[in-house]
Amino acid sequence: MKIFDTLTREKKEVSKKKLKMFVCGPTVYDNSHLGHARTYIAYDIIAKYLRYRGYDLSFLMNITDVDDKIINRAAETKKDPKEIAVQFEKAFMEDMKALGIGGIDKFARASDHMPEIIDQIQRLVKKKFAYETKTGVYFDITKFAEYGKLSRQNTEELKKHRIEPDATKKNPHDFSLWKKRDKSELGWDSPWGFGRPGWHIEDTAISEKYLGSQYDIHGGAIDLIFPHHEAEIAQMESVSGKKPMVNLWTHTGFLLVNGEKMSKSLGNFITIKEALKKHPAEVLRLFFAMSHYRSPIDFDENNIKQAKNTLDTIYNALVVLENIEKGPGEDVESEVNRIKAAFIEHLDDDFNTPYALSSVYELVDLVNKYASTGKKISRDSKELIEATLLEMCGIFGALRNYAPVKVTEEIRKLVSEREAARTRKDYKKADAIRSRLEKMGIIIEDTKAGIIWKKKS
Ligand SMILES: [Zn+2]
């Protein structure tokens, strides 16, 4: 398997079977939005696939529950910062569950790791990578010659960014490790007095504790490369003296909404909760999987519709398959195995989900081909196709509501009666038949791909 590494800008072969992965989690000061959904769904698919391929994966995610954004939000709403953090961490967990994101072995809150954070800062100060001033403790970027290596910026380019102006710093780009604060604010005691940690140090203190000073995969959204991930490298590689901190730096691409960057001021800001009111999680997941995780994605209604139609087509293929005549018939094993091998080949190549989906469509086409020619299919082949489709779609988190529906003569009759009623615009009768079918545990949906039968869950 090959995975693209942002640091070296090339795909690297993954040779180890035991993998440790850290993905930057949310700062819990507001409801999570579609940009978060994109990143966390991508890593959910990555984790599912790595495990499917037999990798022994430990997946760690931090929760930033100590941050200026939380403190500002608390001040705006006249609430306690802790209350804000608890409220939005809960909301985040609800969103993850609703999106079907699981498989994260451990969530680690910054506030639960103050001793580790303080200890890491102390070691940086002792090794003279960091220094204390009146206002806090800062990382001295002149001590880490490779600062800028991930974002590929030289010293001059780095100077263009504006980072926390503070007159006590040695260099304008030194970032804070500890912020000295008044006792009235949220904070902890430390060797440098009362205060709170900077954002970057929270992540490396947590990842060092659970994954060690060197691990396999670090993930996050592309906009975290600078300064956040650059700072993580500087901290971790300085404190441990070991390089590289991680073998693979991975990043998810930008999310656009109707061709524009999502922002509150543009009025195109969509939270996960709002998106889930309009679209089932399965559709959202398939929509994201239709683009490569590193590519930009444009969230617009047409693209979402395409994902919905694709999902309907796949569900429909399963219904069609269930109702193809079985018997001594053709064996499709080698064809199915060829499609599955291609599916794996695509995902082994830096998780190419859009290509992998084309293998799913191939399997769907195979089903539809049998149905349209009226050929019989062997029972074993039918079971193999069904299991393979569910297995492949399971990696994307799709087909979660599938249950095979056996279309009996009675059902078939009811469905055609309903069709006839709809044609003569007798919607009352059509709806009555629909609810009768529902009572029998069957939901019918009219889609572009045809009528889909689903078992009521
Ligand atoms: Zn982070």
> How far, in Å, from the CA of 316 to the mean position of ligand 1?
41
Q: How far is the CA of 228 from the centre of ligand 1 (A)?
A: 7
Ligand 1 centroid from CA 452, angstroms: 43
pLDDT in tens, 432-452: 998 988 888 777 777 665 666
Q: Quickly tell me which residue has 């994605």 as its tokens.
A: 297
DSSP assignment of 18-85, as one string? Answer: EEEEEE---BSSS--BHHHHHHHHHHHHHHHHHHHTT-EEEEEEEEB-SSHHHHHHHHHHT--HHHHH
Indicate the SS3 state at residue 394: helix
Q: How far apart are the first and last CA of the chain?
A: 37
371 alpha carbon to ligand 1 midpoint, in Å? 50
Are residues 441 and 332 part of one domain? no
CB-based neighbours (< 5 A) of ligand 1, an ion: 24, 203
Angle between helices 81-98 and 68-77 in degrees, nearest 10:
110
Task: Kindly state whether residues 222 and 369 are assigned to the same domain.
Answer: no
Q: Would residue 271 count as lying in a domain?
A: no
pLDDT(370) > 90: no
Q: How far is the CA of 69 from the centre of ligand 1 (A)?
A: 14
For residue 243, the one-letter residue type is K
Q: Which domain holds residue 365?
A: 298-396
284, part of any domain: no
Same domain assignment for residues 122 and 235: yes
Measured in Å, residue 251 CA sits from the centre of ligand 1 at 12
Residue 285 domain flag = no
382-436: pLDDT as tens digits? 899 999 999 999 999 988 767 666 677 888 889 889 989 999 999 999 999 989 8
State the CATH number of the domain containing residue 373: 1.20.120.640
Contact call for residues 52 and 395 (beta carbons, < 8 A): yes
Q: Where are the beta strands (DSSP E) in 174-234?
A: 176-180, 195-197, 215-221
> Do 447 and 357 reside in the same domain of the chain?
no
Q: Report how far ligand 1's centroid is from the alpha carbon of 231 (Å).
A: 10
- Whether 85 is covered by a domain: the verdict is yes
Contact 417, 433 (CB under 8 A): yes
- Over the stretch 210-258, which tens digit does the pLDDT of each residue have? 999 999 999 999 999 999 999 999 999 999 999 999 999 999 999 999 9
- In angstroms, what is the span from residue 112 Cα to ligand 1's centroid? 16
Q: Are residues 24 and 153 both part of a single domain?
A: yes
Q: Is residue 403 part of a domain?
A: no
**DSSP string covering 139-178:** E-GGG-TTTTTTTT--HHHHTTS-----TT-SSTT--EEE
For residues 254 and 134, membership in a common domain is answered with yes
Ramachandran category for residue 188: left, alpha or beta (phi over 0 → left; psi -120 to 50 → alpha): beta
* Separation between Cα atoms, residue 362 and residue 69, nearest integer Å: 47
Question: How much distance in Å is there from the Cα of 345 to the middle of ligand 1?
Answer: 31
Of the candidates 406, 401, 407, the one whose C-alpha atom is nearest the C-alpha of residue 457 is 401
Predicted confidence (pLDDT) per residue in 72-111, tens digit? 999 999 999 999 999 999 999 999 999 999 999 999 999 9
Rounded distance from Cα 125 to ligand 1 centre (Å): 21
